[in-house]
Amino acid sequence: MISEMAENGLLHHGKVLTVDTMNPNVKRVEYAVRGPIVQRALQIEKELKEGVKKPFTEVIKANIGDCHAMGQKPITFFRQVLALCSYPELLEDNKFPEDVKNRARRILQACAGRSLGAYSASQGIELVRRDVAQYIERRDGGIPCNPDNIYLTAGASDAIMTMLKLLVSGEGPSRTGVMISIPQYPLYSAALAELAAVQINYYLDEEKCWSLDVSELRRALEAARKHCRPRVLCIINPGNPTGQVQSRQCVEDVIQFAAEENLFLMADEVYQDNVYAEGCQFHSFKKVLFEMGPEYSDKLELASFHSTSKCYMGECGFRGGYMEVVNLDPEVKVQLTKLVSVRLCPSVPGQALLDLVVNPPQPGEPSYGTFIKERSHTLEVLAEKAKMTQEILNQVPGITCNPVQGAMYTFPQIQLPPKAIAEAKEKGQAPDMFYCMKLLEEKGICLVPGSGFGQRDGTYHFRMTILPPTEKLKIVLDKVKEFHQSFTEQYS
């Protein structure tokens, strides 16, 4: 009942927006990376500041791929150019190398009113889109890229959400089904919940280093056809949360499958520079698609995504990214451009940063030496940490960890005693959530339970990032080791 009360002759109704009257799709959205564990971690940090005694002195957050928050250093050249773009008076300052000044001038000339504070075209600054297209051509060995097919975005998340909005339609059994890998990055399940699309899970093979098998794609597709209309296949390569890098053969198999089944392919390639394992190499879906010849490259609809938030840049806060669309229906492209124009434009500082990422200092320029040194150092350290993480976790009885071939995460499987599983269920918690919450309370280590990413029934995991500085990462791994042993003893 609406509570009504006359006061000064005015009627007071209950609230218009309540949990019962709000959009029900929003209530179904879950995002584990910033879920209950992280909320509790923030509370504990506050308690520590207030002097509450804990068995540790700080909370170490290994839950999210936020590079700079974890101590990764920004690339000097990027920050110098952005400083000049933000405050052009610095162009008169002789502290800055000439190539930095030239680059800042070039970007500012492409901005309305020569200011980062002005709106850009909705699809992004034309100069930046041209530079992105040239970057893709270089990366893919000369396969042409049209700047008109490039959309600049607020990180990859924004682009993925926009593309899904275009793809989802229908009611009941004709509702769009979207195939996502399990384990998955929760952006996908959250977006599908918000759009009331049908989530179709396909499982990666943990026994084979999280590889993707087309027979599993086919199983998931056939099962889904009974209750929805599968139209989209999403791939994350290198993988998040699983850290695998797909072989060229795998990429070909996926393209062939998508073409045969008439699926729209979405390739999330934001970790393309993060490849560490010997014998592994990043193969872009666009490149392989065109190398497979016109029977595929003329037909298959593909959207691929990249971001300034990961790789060696780690500039999450700038929200820079791009999407390239291939074989998109021209009339749909008009609708896509309309949809992005509603939000006016992506962050202009983010676009400026993206321009530097796709067009870094060249040999012979003053900033080149420092740039290459910083880039190589960041990626080398990540490779060392990937190796160390896998080695230390595999020493712990009851934890199995696949090689971290790429990206920034590991997703180890943990064996939990039946008694612990029973206690978790009594508390209404997923067993790996129960485990991670205890780890946080006892050791001050914040990880995300595998249940937030999806996993095969009866298996338990956690996702941790390899981003903390080497010394801190050692502490995290040692504390996980100690905790797992005492947890297993306590519940055995």
Distance between CA atoms of residues 464 and 412, nearest Å: 9
Do 174 and 208 touch, CB atoms closer than 8 A? no
Among all chains, which residue has been given the structure tokens 């008009």?
Answer: 334
Q: Coil, strand, or helix at residue 476?
A: helix
Taken as a whole, the chain contains a residue count of 492
Q: Are residues 123 and 240 in the same domain?
A: yes
Q: Are residues 187 and 231 in the same domain?
A: yes
Q: Are residues 161 and 301 in the same domain?
A: yes
Do 48 and 57 touch, CB atoms closer than 8 A? yes
Q: Which two tokens stand for residue 383?
A: 């490779």
Q: Coil, strand, or helix at residue 428?
A: coil
Whether residue 342 is contained in a domain is answered as yes
Q: What is residue 71's predicted lDDT score, i.e. its pLDDT?
A: 85
Q: What is the CATH number of the domain that holds 330?
A: 3.40.640.10
Q: Where are the beta strands (DSSP E) in 327-470?
A: 399-400, 409-410, 413-414, 445-446, 448-449, 462-465
Q: Are residues 170 and 275 in the same domain?
A: yes
Q: What is the CATH number of the domain that holds 419?
A: 3.90.1150.10
Q: Are residues 262 and 391 in the same domain?
A: no
Distance between CA atoms of residues 271 and 1, nearest Å: 52
Do 220 and 202 touch, CB atoms closer than 8 A? yes
Q: Are residues 403 and 353 in the same domain?
A: no
Q: Are residues 30 and 131 in the same domain?
A: no
Domain that holds residue 246: 119-358
Q: Are residues 274 and 396 in the same domain?
A: no
Q: Are residues 478 and 399 in the same domain?
A: yes
Q: Are residues 243 and 305 in the same domain?
A: yes
Q: Are residues 171 and 57 in the same domain?
A: no
Do 124 and 323 touch, CB atoms closer than 8 A? no
Nearest to 149 by CA among 336, 414, 317: 336
Q: Tell me the DSSP string of 116-170.
A: TTS---TT--HHHHHHHHHHHHHHTTT----GGGEEEESHHHHHHHHHHHHH---
Q: Tell me the DSSP string of 254-271.
A: HHHHHHHTT-EEEEE-TT
Distance between CA atoms of residues 449 and 438, nearest Å: 11
Question: Which of 358, 392, 417 corresponds to the end of one domain?
Answer: 358
Q: Are residues 140 and 205 in the same domain?
A: yes
pTM: 0.89
Q: How many domains does the chain have?
A: 2
Distance between CA atoms of residues 134 and 143, nearest Å: 10
For residue 420, how far is the Cα from the chain centroid?
31
Question: Which of 295, 327, 358 corresponds to the end of one domain?
Answer: 358
Whether residue 399 is contained in a domain is answered as yes
Whether residue 448 is contained in a domain is answered as yes
pLDDT in single tens digits along all 492 residues of the chain: 444 555 566 666 788 777 787 777 777 776 655 678 888 999 999 999 999 999 999 998 888 888 888 888 999 999 999 999 999 888 888 899 999 999 999 999 998 898 888 777 778 889 999 999 999 999 999 999 999 999 999 888 889 889 998 988 888 899 999 999 999 888 888 889 888 899 999 999 999 989 999 999 999 999 999 999 999 999 999 988 898 999 999 999 999 999 999 999 999 999 999 898 888 899 999 999 999 999 999 999 999 999 998 888 888 888 999 999 999 999 989 888 888 877 888 888 889 999 999 999 999 999 999 999 999 999 999 999 999 999 999 999 999 999 999 888 999 999 999 999 999 999 998 999 999 999 999 999 999 999 888 888 899 999 999 999 999 999 999 999 999 999 999 988
